[in-house]
Amino acid sequence: MRIGFARALLYAVCLSAVVILSQFVYELRRTAEEQFLADFRAATSEFTNEVDHSVSTVINYVLSIGAFFESSDLVREEEFARFIIRSRFLTESPHLRTISVMPYLHQSELPQFHDALNGRKEIRSFYGYTPFEVAVVPGQEHYAPITYLESPDSRQGILGYDIASNPRIMKYATAALLSTQPHMTPPIKFAADDNEDTHDVLIVTAVKSSANLGLREIADSGRSAFIAASYSPAIALSRMLQETAFGAQFEICIFDVTDPEPMQIYGSAAAPRGQTPLVVNKLVLGNRVWELRYFKSPGAMGKENVQRFIFLGLIGIVLILALTIAIDRLIRGRSLLEREVEERTEQLNELNQALVEAAQQANAESDAKSMFLAHMSHELRTPLNAIIGYAQMLQKEPFGKIGDKRYLEYADTIEEAGKIQLQFVEDILSLTALQNGQRTLEKHPMDLQDTAERCIQFLQTRIEEKSLDVQLKGDLKNAPFYGDERSMQQIILNLLSNSIKFTPEGGRITVRLMRGERKTIVSVEDTGIGVAPEDMDKILKPFGQANVNAYNAHEGVGLGLSIVSSLAQANGGEIRVESELGKGTTVTIEFADAPEL
């Protein structure tokens, strides 16, 4: 009964969760669409203002040049160039390609105009103006040749161009003259442009002044002149999209819709063709109407991304249903699982008890072994000390000379054998103390260089007996080292003893003390008999020696490196052994620096 009620409650909760999740996904989808559209409109409105500001700035600049001419009686090439340079508009606005000035001349004034240009040929050449002559066109009454020109690029192909010969341009120049307001042309492809995709618009204004342009011979107080700026929408808009975050939010196409047939001014690379724009804004600039059509960028939040919310909602519903079914199965199998858990728990308890008993037995055996070894070592130390002492006394002959010198050699052999056995006893005691945790390390700052030197000096007799070349390399006099001096001395002594033991007469042993990155490195390298690869895993274990005749021919049972390994680990070190049979062995221990307090 209780299980049936729990299952009914479970499915009721599942149904409620599905309804709530569906409503949440619907609201989330609607909110996301509204937010995206609001953000899209805000971004496009801001970009439209940027375009308006860019073009309006050029128009105002053209008007300021017109005011400069109207307020001056005489404007030569140098004054014009100085005004353009000081305004810095050409250098700061790469989308502004040229600034040109054209006097409005009658056909009858052309000879006088040419004479005036020839009179200023040298000064114009100095400022980079090439000579030109306006060709007379039959039936053309007025002319407007480009006389002054400033451009970041070459003047070639533009200077001397008569805009009056181009009806399309002259239409808007005349409108500017009659209305006294600046006018902008539709997109124009200039012959001097190599790029087929480059289309500029001209912003033209007309001024009334003497308009002699430095040519007094044609001075006329009532003459008109045209000032035109070549503006590149492609350069301006591409730069605005690159320097702002707008480029990732939308794609844009701009059309001039002043005339019945719209003309495209600019289109971003990924702008779709034939689709309805999300937002359309219009600008009136220079008596032309620009229509800015905005499309969703492929990477922006849109219909495809909104569908993700529906997909995620469906996944959530599926997960809820799957979870409900899984929980239902869990409820139905609850009693079975409880029985299985009880059985497994009982089995684990029995297994755990067996493991505890086995561990206790192993610890007891280990303790018994350690106690036996320690007891035997203590028992062996006393007679060994007596044997060594009497052997040394016999060598000194305190009670008179011994007749045959062979007795002295036998005494020396007894002493050496006793020392070997005593060292074996000491090694067993040290290893037992380390394994049982009975040895306490007293770590403090120490001079590792001095310790190594003392160890070499301590073994000097054995070194000289075998004529070994022992070198100490490295300088740790000023390097900090924090460790237990007694155990460090025992480490170096054991490593040196091993190398002396297994290095033939005349061999070489090198002790290196080095500093690494936040660590101290102790290395002992010898030219001894070496170790075979298959025996490398044995030499660090207690009573482990390499299973080769050369090794077995030497005294000892293989506790030296085991003690070194244990002492190194106790001092925070890691031991590494590299060896090649017949060439020698290198034992390296790396001690990490003590953490700063």
Q: Which CATH number fits the domain that encloses residue 568?
A: 3.30.565.10
Task: Please identify which residue in the block is written with the tokens 């007749």.
Answer: 403
Residue 477 has pLDDT above 80, yes or no: no
* Neighbour tally for 571: CB within 10 Å: 19
394 and 408 fall within a common domain: yes
Residue 597 has pLDDT above 50, yes or no: no
State the Cα–Cα distance between residues 548 and 434, nearest whole angstrom. 29
In a domain, 157, yes or no: no
In a domain, 141, yes or no: no
State the Cα–Cα distance between residues 350 and 357, nearest whole angstrom. 11
378 and 489 fall within a common domain: no
Question: What is the 3-class SS of 255-289, one letter each residue?
Answer: EECCCCCCEEEEECCCCCCCCCCCEEEEEEECCEE
Residue 282 has pLDDT above 80, yes or no: yes
Q: What is the pLDDT of residue 216?
A: 58
Q: How many CA atoms lie less than 13 Å away from 9 in the CB half-sphere? A: 7
In a domain, 193, yes or no: no
Q: What is the pLDDT of residue 366?
A: 65
- Residue ending a domain, among 439, 459, 477, is 439
Separate counts of helices (H) and strands (E) for the chain: 15, 18
Whether the CB-CB separation of 466 and 500 falls below 8 Å is answered with yes
In a domain, 172, yes or no: no
- Residue ending a domain, among 373, 407, 439, is 439
State the Cα–Cα distance between residues 248 and 2, nearest whole angstrom. 59
For residues 462-472, average pLDDT: 91
In a domain, 379, yes or no: yes
Q: What is the pLDDT of residue 4?
A: 67
Q: What is the pLDDT of residue 508?
A: 94
In a domain, 545, yes or no: yes
Would you state the structure tokens that stand for residue 93, as one six-digit string?
């606005």
State the Cα–Cα distance between residues 293 and 277, nearest whole angstrom. 6
State the Cα–Cα distance between residues 188 and 199, nearest whole angstrom. 5
Confidence of residue 548 (pLDDT cuts 50, 70, 90): very low
pLDDT tens-digit map of 117-163: 888 888 888 888 888 899 899 989 999 999 899 887 766 778 889 99
Q: What is the pLDDT of residue 547?
A: 47
Q: What is the pLDDT of residue 590?
A: 92
389 and 420 fall within a common domain: yes
* Residues in Cβ contact with 292 at an 8 Å cutoff, skipping those fewer than 6 apart: 44, 47, 48, 51, 252, 253, 254, 280, 281, 282, 283
For residues 532-541, average pLDDT: 77
Residue 557 has pLDDT above 60, yes or no: no
In a domain, 207, yes or no: no
State the Cα–Cα distance between residues 300 and 41, nearest whole angstrom. 13
State the Cα–Cα distance between residues 232 and 47, nearest whole angstrom. 17
461 and 585 fall within a common domain: yes
Which of 581, 75, 19 lies closest to 320, judged by CA? 19
Q: What is the pLDDT of residue 153?
A: 72
Q: What is the pLDDT of residue 550?
A: 37
State the Cα–Cα distance between residues 431 and 5, nearest whole angstrom. 68
For residues 465-469, average pLDDT: 91
- Residue ending a domain, among 389, 417, 439, is 439
In 357-478, the DSSP E strands lie at: 443-445, 469-473
451 and 394 fall within a common domain: no
433 and 533 fall within a common domain: no
pLDDT tens-digit map of 161-176: 999 999 989 999 999 8
Q: Report DSSP state, residue 337.
A: H
Q: Which residues pair with 283 in a beta bridge?
A: 290
435 and 445 fall within a common domain: no
Q: What is the pLDDT of residue 552?
A: 35
Residue type, 285: L
Strand 508-516 with 469-473, pairing: parallel
Whether the CB-CB separation of 162 and 114 falls below 8 Å is answered with no
For residues 219-234, average pLDDT: 81
458 and 558 fall within a common domain: yes
For residues 252-273, average pLDDT: 85
Measured in whole angstroms, the distance separating CA 306 from the mean position of its chain's CA atoms is: 33
**CA torsion, ordered 275, 276, 281, 282, to nearest 10 deg:** 80
Residue 113 has pLDDT above 90, yes or no: no
- Average pLDDT, rounded, for the chain: 80
Residue 280 has pLDDT above 90, yes or no: yes
Q: What is the pLDDT of residue 314?
A: 75
User: Taking the model in full, what pTM does it have?
Assistant: 0.49
493 and 378 fall within a common domain: no
For residues 209-223, average pLDDT: 61
Percent of the chain with pLDDT over 90: 17
Domains in the chain, number = 2
Q: What is the pLDDT of residue 14?
A: 77
In a domain, 362, yes or no: yes
Confidence of residue 197 (pLDDT cuts 50, 70, 90): low
Task: Please identify which residue in the block is written with the tokens 């308009």.
Answer: 211
479 and 584 fall within a common domain: yes
Percent of the chain with pLDDT over 70: 80
Element (H, E) at 484: strand 482-484
| Strongest mean pLDDT among 76-90, 498-512, 532-546 | 498-512
* Domain ranges, residue 495: 441-592
Residue type, 479: A
450 and 567 fall within a common domain: yes
CA-to-CA dists, residue 105 to 102, 211, 223, 237, 518, angstroms: 9, 10, 8, 36, 87
Residue 196 has pLDDT above 70, yes or no: no
State the Cα–Cα distance between residues 41 and 279, nearest whole angstrom. 7
Residue 1 has pLDDT above 60, yes or no: no
For residues 189-213, average pLDDT: 70
* Residues in Cβ contact with 432 at an 8 Å cutoff, skipping those fewer than 6 apart: 370, 373, 374, 377, 438
Whether the CB-CB separation of 133 and 115 falls below 8 Å is answered with no
For residues 318-326, average pLDDT: 79
For residues 190-212, average pLDDT: 70
Q: Report DSSP state, residue 200.
A: B
401 and 457 fall within a common domain: no
Residue 109 has pLDDT above 80, yes or no: yes
Residue 183 has pLDDT above 90, yes or no: yes
Confidence of residue 476 (pLDDT cuts 50, 70, 90): confident
| Signed CA dihedral, 188, 191, 193, 194: sign only | positive
**Residue 548 zone, left/alpha/beta (φ > 0; ψ -120 to 50; rest):** beta
pLDDT tens-digit map of 14-63: 777 777 877 777 777 777 778 888 888 888 899 899 899 989 999 999 99
pLDDT tens-digit map of 343-386: 888 888 888 888 888 888 877 776 776 676 666 666 766 787 77
State the Cα–Cα distance between residues 563 and 565, nearest whole angstrom. 5
Q: What is the pLDDT of residue 553?
A: 34
Residue 237 has pLDDT above 70, yes or no: yes
Residue 555 has pLDDT above 50, yes or no: no
For residues 239-258, average pLDDT: 81
